[in-house]
Chain A
Amino acid sequence: MALSSLTVYEAQDLLRRKEISPKEIVEDLVRRIEQVDGAVHGYLSFDPERALKDAEQADVSLPLGGIPISIKDVVSVQGHPCGCASKILQGYVAPFDATVIKKLRAAGAIPFGRTNMDEFAMGSSTENSAFGPSRNPWDPDRIPGGSSGGSSAVVAADEALAALGSDTGGSIRQPAALCGCVGLKPTYGRVSRYGLVAFASSLDQIGPLTKDVRDAAMIMNVISGVDPCDSTTLDELVPDYTADLDKGVKSLTLGLPKEYFIKGLDPQVEEAVRAAVGRYEKLGAKIVDISLPHTEYALSTYYIIAPAEASANLARFDGVRYGFRADGITGLLDHYGKTREEGFGQEVKRRIILGTYALSSGYYDAYYLRAQKVRTLIRRDFDDAFAKVDAILCPTSPTPAFKLGERTGDPLQMYLADVFTLAANMAGICGISIPCGFAEVEGMKLPIGLQILGKALNEATILRVANAYEQSTDWHLARPPLGWPS
């Protein structure tokens, strides 16, 4: 068995028994990347020498000692490039570690390669990367999801043991679903955003993409917690997320929101999710129907709030202090206009313009303020639901992975890929996507994700619910064929 296909806890066990060394894991990952990443294109860059040096010094007695973790290109790792898959950050090398990276290092982990993404995390397919899309390891003609599509692809293709992603509207959960891995979006404020390049500051969270639920719990144990460098982090105790994993679902009530089983939901996705619900009943959970009445407004709310916040956050990319600056500048306005024209890709420009419009004089109340009020209604829906249920079960994505190029001409169609994941970010609650089956499309097997949503700070509950299902199925053990030519 190749070391690159190990889970984090399997690798940890072998490391602690001295059957393998951290160096061997890194070497094996490098071999695997050389073998398949030409076709997958999950990595933007990686630095084997630095990783090997870190591996030599790794203390395997630490919680993630000697475990390489791949990092989405939006999280700062000191001395590594951090480009957000954008031309405007070309040549930028992070001068500091994000808090999550400091925590990973303190736990003995090795920050590994930089994974591909939609530029500035804006997108659902990685097709907005300035460096070309990643491909779904289950079918090279299809997208791996996004924006953390590089992270999900490298985990699914065994080019990483685990990865970090970021989730603003579904960017961890949706790619995890489409690539057949596990992806967890923590409660807003559970994990520090310090060192995460900001997209929409009131929605962004960093979280793990892993091969199974236990690995996600182990990484959450390390990266969670209050941070003086991020004043929005919550000063709440971080429990041991692995402690309740095996407690089962017998005493739990799980809600099925009727608004998530609608027209537009792929029949094979619906069948797989309903089968998973049946499995939970067999495992002893009580299933109840619930309603989240404002679900249909989540997409519109999101596409005002997220671009508005992005338009302010991305004002810092001005070609002065870091990154790209256009040539042939004639004056100050020309400097900004040209640098941002040439530095940003289409989708980023589109969202900055949409957000600028929503915040502009005369439109603020009609768009931004109204969207923030609807956000309150969406949040209340979840408050009401969690008064009755311990967690919510629903599909992660309405369809399996779509084809490259299929939706690039129609932004609204692309935005609909996140229709089931956005609401959790609006409400600030936690959610996880786990594999729950496969769709057969044009002769290819495509993974389907089950989404489990939990109350704020109830990561332990959704991990427990996820683990109960995972332990009774073997979807998470399936690996993509990857026999296709590069």
Chain B
Amino acid sequence: MSATKFDVRYVAELARIKLEPGEIAAFEAQLGHVLEHVEKLNQLDVSQVEPTAHSFPIYNIFREDETRPSLDREAVLANAPRQAQGLFIVTKVVE
């Protein structure tokens, strides 16, 4: 956990966000600063501590497996940036 400078360009690619070169430099500096602060967590011995994912672990919440009405197709498509013939129009995936 010593890396306080990380490869913002690579991580932005993982997150599917394009960045301007200026943004990459700014984020590297700002997030490096934040990660330095986070280094603080290394001061603690947590080897015997269980992680908390949720404050109140509740398990096995089921509902009846019944069909229920869902949103109308029109209502769903109304928010699409592009749609036609009851379908979302997406960017070409296969070459």
| A positions within 8 Å CB-CB of B | 91-93, 95-96, 188-189, 202, 228, 231-232, 234, 294, 296-297, 299-301, 303-304, 311, 315, 318-325, 329, 331-338, 340-341, 344, 346, 349-350, 352-354, 356-357, 360, 363, 366-367, 369-377, 379, 410-412, 415, 426-429, 456
Contacts and interface: CB of A to CB of B under 8 A. Distances in A.
Contact of B38 (A91, A300, A319): A300
B94 to A, nearest CB: 9
Given A331-B92, A340-B18, A349-B19, A304 B53 contact: no
Nearest to A230: B61
30 contacts: A188-B54, A202-B54, A231-B58, A232-B54, A234-B58, A304-B41, A318-B16, A325-B81, A331-B91, A334-B91, A337-B16, A337-B17, A340-B16, A340-B17, A341-B17, A349-B17, A356-B15, A357-B31, A370-B46, A371-B41, A373-B52, A374-B46, A375-B52, A377-B46, A377-B49, A379-B52, A411-B30, A411-B34, A428-B56, A456-B55
Contacts of B44: 294, 297, 374, 377
A304 B27 contact: no
Contact of A372 (B6, B19, B51, B61): B51
A335 B30 contact: no
A319 B90 CA distance: 9
Interface of B: 1, 3, 6, 8, 11-12, 14-19, 23, 27, 30-31, 33-34, 37-42, 44, 46, 49-56, 58, 61, 63, 71, 75-76, 78-82, 88, 90-93
Q: Which secondary structure characterizes the binding site on chain B? A: loop
Nearest to B30: A411
A301 to B, nearest CB: 7
A30 B82 CA distance: 35
A14 to B, nearest CB: 38
A341 B19 contact: yes
B71 A303 contact: no
Given A202-B55, A332-B93, A356-B15, 7 more contacts: A91-B79, A321-B76, A325-B81, A337-B18, A340-B16, A340-B18, A353-B15
Given A296-B40, A304-B38, A321-B80, A360 B52 contact: no
Nearest to A299: B37
A323 B55 contact: no
Contacts of A379: 52, 55
Contacts of B52: 372-373, 375-376, 379, 426
A329 B45 CA distance: 49
A374 B79 CA distance: 41
A39 B33 CA distance: 35
Nearest to B75: A95
A352 B15 contact: yes
A38 B30 CA distance: 33
Contact of B51 (A341, A353, A373, A427): A373
A353 to B, nearest CB: 5
A371 B91 CA distance: 38
A130 to B, nearest CB: 16
Contacts of A377: 44, 46, 49
B17 A412 contact: no
Given A331-B91, A373-B49, A350 B30 contact: yes
Given A202-B55, A228-B63, A354 B76 contact: no
Contacts of B58: 189, 231-232, 234
A315 B75 CA distance: 22
B36 to A, nearest CB: 9
Contact of B41 (A318, A352, A363, A374): A374
Contact of B11 (A95, A297, A346, A356): A356
Contacts of A296: 40
B16 A333 contact: yes
A334 B41 CA distance: 37
A411 B32 CA distance: 11
Nearest to B76: A95
**Complex A-B, nearest 4 residue pairs according to Cβ-Cβ distance, in ascending order:** A428-B55, A372-B51, A322-B79, A325-B81
A216 to B, nearest CB: 21
B79 A324 contact: no
Contacts of A189: 55-56, 58
A320 B88 contact: yes
Contacts of B50: 373, 376
A323 B78 CA distance: 10
A456 B17 contact: no
A415 B36 CA distance: 14
Contact of A350 (B1, B27, B39, B92): B27
A456 B63 CA distance: 25
Nearest to A340: B17
A329 B91 contact: yes
Given A91-B79, A428-B55, A353 B27 contact: yes
Contacts of A232: 54, 56, 58
Contacts of A299: 37
A379 B56 CA distance: 11
B91 A335 contact: yes
A297 B40 contact: yes
A369 B61 CA distance: 25
A204 to B, nearest CB: 12
A370 B61 CA distance: 27
